[in-house]
Structure 1
Amino acid sequence: MMDIVGAVALVTGATGGIGRSLVSTLLEAGARKIIACDLDEAALGEIKRSAPGRCETHAFDVTDEQAVQRVAAACGDVSLLINCHGLVIHESYLEAAGVAGFRKEMEVNYWGQVLMCRAFAPIVGKNGGGAIANFLSPLALATHPFCGNYCASKAACRALTDAMRAELAEQGTLVVSIFPGAIDTQMMTKLDMPKSQPAEVAAGVVAAIIAGDTECWVGETAPEFRDQWRIDPAPLVAAAAKYLRLPK
């Protein structure tokens, strides 16, 4: 369990729909300060007006180890880290013109989380144990062929998160795996299916952290996927293999 009241939280990917909603939800839950990474100036101004003195932003590249270390050095009071950044490339391994996009996807999704966890785990531990929450995906479990590299990056993030949970148990840090379903964000614009609103997902994530849950399945289709996976994953794997490419 973690008490959000009085906590200092750092949220990556804060300019996106979920990240921005997380900032608002954490403030409403009583966080003392939010460090909203890459939050745009318009959103930052709005939050500063509604919650003066409780939000700041840092612009940096999560794949740049030196930049991550600089932010960590400047943010020694963080007790909650939420890795919400992410990138998806809807391309087939065989049809893509090259692998540069795949490398970038892995750098952002996986190595970005690695660098953030390495930099902030000691800080979170020093500040009472706190929590680290990593955004994964149900696609970490069932691979869709036309975004296979994204699935691979999220599978790697799942392994990272499980390792962090074991390694940080001694310092009392809660480590949460977040498996969001379909959400109404820019990343899922072309998907024609029911979607949850970012605010609903943010509320579910914060509730899971407060409750001390190690897994959070939230958003359209996520709980159903979880239940089916636990009963029998074969239908999910078979359905994923038939996944159609998105319209251009």
Structure 2
Amino acid sequence: MRPDCFTNGNPMNIKGCTALVTGANRGLGKVIVDQLAQAGAARIYAGMRNPAVIGHDVVTPVALDVTDADSVARTAEKCSDVDLVINNAGIMLATPMLADDSEQALRRELDVNAFGPLRIAKAFAPILARNGGGAIVNMLSVVSWYVYPFNATYCASKFTALAMTDAMRVELKAQGTHVMGVYAGFIDTDMAARVTGEKTSPVQVAERMLAGLRAGKDHVLADAAAEELWRAVRFEPERVAAWAQSLWDAGRAWAV
């Protein structure tokens, strides 16, 4: 790893880094790959279940299923020069907690949204250590902090991912690996196609993510929803809880 790229908790220079992005075939993942390329990353591994060509010379598509431990291990073996890992792959099934299929939904969402980043982090932490420290970015959500009742199983998976992210930061500090969480409301991608409320451009989320890396931040609030809810859940938790209850009582699913 280039010594000026990222070492021992200092802000990261994206130019010249080697990155792995999970869930890179579409939506936010594809935009993150584009932004990394524009920022001068030397090499980008675009992890996806069905590899397809992405139009940048520095991008190498990689077959990766974050729910498959063997797939993750093969990717780690192939991508041994990585100094930046971005856990972006995710799934959202829009399931209330007591719905008939909530257990199945929660298991699927945990497998992708929580165990996926955990598998990746465990596989790549030794690689990052050998390469000088580097960084892990976990794409989280505003619902890492509160429960949106129509999407409760997804919220639970993101609550879990947030706790894991904070734990990774503590455990990996000694080896010089920085761990950053990124939080956003609904992003204008296929995942949130059913959402009727305001959505954030994935370009904005990717830009704020990279700016956060450059600044060495632990937490990045990627849009107005994240900024507002970050304050609200800390200083007005009763208002947030009442808002969620009112949405549920009115049956206002996906109205943000």
TM-score (norm 1): 0.91
**1:156 and 1:187, CA in 2 relative to 1: closer, same or farther beyond 3 A?**
same
Structure 1 residue 240 displacement after superposition: 2.3
Structure 1 residue 242 displacement after superposition: 3.2
Give the counterpart of 1:155 among 141, 152, 159. Answer: 159
Equivalent residue number for residue 147 of structure 2: 143
Aligned residue identity for 1:127: N
1:35 aligns with 2:62: no
Structure 1 residue runs without a partner (length 5+): none
Equivalent residue number for residue 23 of structure 2: 13
Equivalent residue number for residue 221 of structure 1: 225
> Matched residue pairs, number?
241
Q: Which piece of structure 1 moves more, 225-234 or 186-195?
A: 225-234
Aligned residue identity for 1:6: G
Q: CA RMSD in A?
A: 1.7
Q: What do the CA deviations read for 1:58-109 (whole angstroms, capped 9, x no partner)?
A: 1221011111011101110000000001001112232334632321111111
Give the counterpart of 1:84 among 88, 95, 113. Answer: 88
**For the residues of structure 2 that align with 1:214 and 1:25, how far apart are their CA atoms?**
20
Give the counterpart of 2:118 among 114, 117, 139. Answer: 114
Q: Report if the CA contact (8 A) 1:176-1:214 is conserved.
A: yes
Give the counterpart of 1:245 among 246, 253, 256. Answer: 253
**For the residues of structure 1 that align with 2:246 and 2:25, how far apart are their CA atoms?**
33
- Superposed, 1:49-198 pairs within 5 Å as 52=57, 54-97=58-101, 99-198=103-202
**For the residues of structure 1 that align with 2:176 and 2:193, how far apart are their CA atoms?**
39
Aligned residue identity for 1:164: M
Aligned residue identity for 1:194: E
**For the residues of structure 1 that align with 2:51 and 2:95, how far apart are their CA atoms?**
32
The percent of aligned pairs where both chains have the same amino acid is 38
Equivalent residue number for residue 8 of structure 2: none
**For the residues of structure 2 that align with 1:241 and 1:144, how far apart are their CA atoms?**
9
1:210 aligns with 2:218: no
Aligned residue identity for 2:138: N
Structure 1 residue 246 displacement after superposition: 4.1
Q: What do the CA deviations read for 1:7-33 (whole angstroms, capped 9, x no partner)?
A: 000000112311111001111111100
Q: Which piece of structure 1 moves more, 100-109 or 129-138?
A: 100-109
Aligned residue identity for 1:139: V
